[in-house]
Amino acid sequence: MSTNNSSGVTTNVAIIGFGLLGASFGLALNGVPGIRRLCCTRNAAAREWALAEHAADFASDDPAEVIPQADVTFLSLPLPVIVRYLTEYAHLWRPGTVVTDMGSVKGAILNVAERTVVPRGVVFVGGHPMAGTEYSGHVHAFPTMFRGADVFLCPASNAKDADVETVAGFWRAVKTNVIRIDPKEHDDLVAHTSHVQHIVASALALTILGSEDPREKMLRDAGCAGGFRDTSRIASSNPVMWREIIEFNTPAILTALDNFQKKLDVLRGEIASGDYDAFQREFARGKELRDAWLVKHMRNK
């Protein structure tokens, strides 16, 4: 990542979109030397907030005012809007500049980038930080959101190692771990580690709280406590955003759901047959795997 040097050069970093991730990224970069943060969003309240909270050094609602200034651009937008920006505004980026994104699906985005910005000499490096909450919007942003998170980078065909390192440098500056990965491998991975969980959490909420019988609904509302809260938390995520993610990653998500269903069928079969010893062994294995992951995850925070 470029920083101030003896000639006083500063890197202009555009953050397009100032929702939860974009705003948190702007906050996290506050105080990092050698950069000027350019916020671009149509949300007037978010622009005012970005300047007031020192999440940006400049704010505009006009991509034509921000993109040509940018040396590096982070697209923190919904997946369909990332596609639109790469298509409609490809001509605004200067050849040689680096563009990356924060979208949770990489194959579809890389395919669009290869057809739009790459032929114009704009370097593209797909990115996906494994961070976020069930909330959305700049009002829920916080500067430590990315700390300890993994960030996947998927370079386009014209991205050199130095370009990937440029993007990686910004992510390391906000205390993340950077992993370079193939786009298909990434999409298969997140279908299992992120996308299917949101579907399962929604199914739990619908199953447990969706009764149309008034008394049953009242009793289930009363009966839900910490276990329900913990397992269903991400069911409160933005439905529009998750519809878009599922549309962009359908084949991988269907495979992940099939794998989950197979394991659920095993557990159900053990319960139905009264093989509680097998169920206990399977349950213990799940606990062992989760506990080991948690120890490693907390150690890396």
The tens digit of pLDDT for each residue in 210-222 reads 999 999 999 999 9
Question: Same domain, yes or no, for 20 and 138?
Answer: yes
Domain at 54, CATH number: 3.40.50.720
Cα Rg of the chain (Å, integer): 22
DSSP symbol at 33: T
- 161, 181, 201 — which closes off a domain? 181
Residues 18 and 111 in one domain: yes
Same domain, 33 and 91: yes
pLDDT of residue 134: 83
- Which helix (H) or strand (E) segment is 259 a member of? helix 250-272
Identify whether 2 is part of a domain.
Answer: no
Asked whether residue 95 falls in the same domain as residue 54, the answer is yes
Domain annotation covers residue 255: yes
Establish if 3 belongs to a structural domain: no
pLDDT at 300: 57
Q: Is residue 1 part of a domain?
A: no
pLDDT score for 296: 85
- The CATH code of the domain that includes 203 is 1.10.3660.10
Average pLDDT, the chain: 95
Same domain (yes/no): 106, 248:
no
206 domain residue, yes or no: yes
Residues 147 and 272 in one domain: no
pLDDT tens digits, one per residue of 133-179:
888 899 999 999 999 999 999 999 999 999 999 999 999 999 999 99
**What is the structure's pLDDT at 5?**
42
Asked whether residue 171 falls in the same domain as residue 283, the answer is no
| End position of a domain, from candidates 147, 181, 215 | 181
Whether 65 and 198 share a structural domain: no
The tally of domains found in the chain comes to 2
Rounded alpha-carbon distances, angstroms, from residue 148 to 101, 174, 177, 196: 19, 9, 7, 23
Could you tell me the residue range of the domain that residue 92 belongs to? 11-181
Is residue 282, in this structure, part of any structural domain at all? yes
Find the mean pLDDT for residues 224-233: 95
pLDDT for 265:
98
Amino acid at 14: A
Are 204 and 173 members of one domain?
no
Q: Torsion angle of alpha carbons 25, 239, 45, 73, nearest 10°?
A: 40
Burial (CB count within 10 angstroms: exposed 0-12, middle 13-18, buried 19+), residue 174: buried
**What is the reported pLDDT for 299?**
67
Instruction: Give the tens place of pLDDT for each residue, 23-73.
Output: 999 999 999 999 999 999 999 999 999 999 999 999 999 999 999 999 999
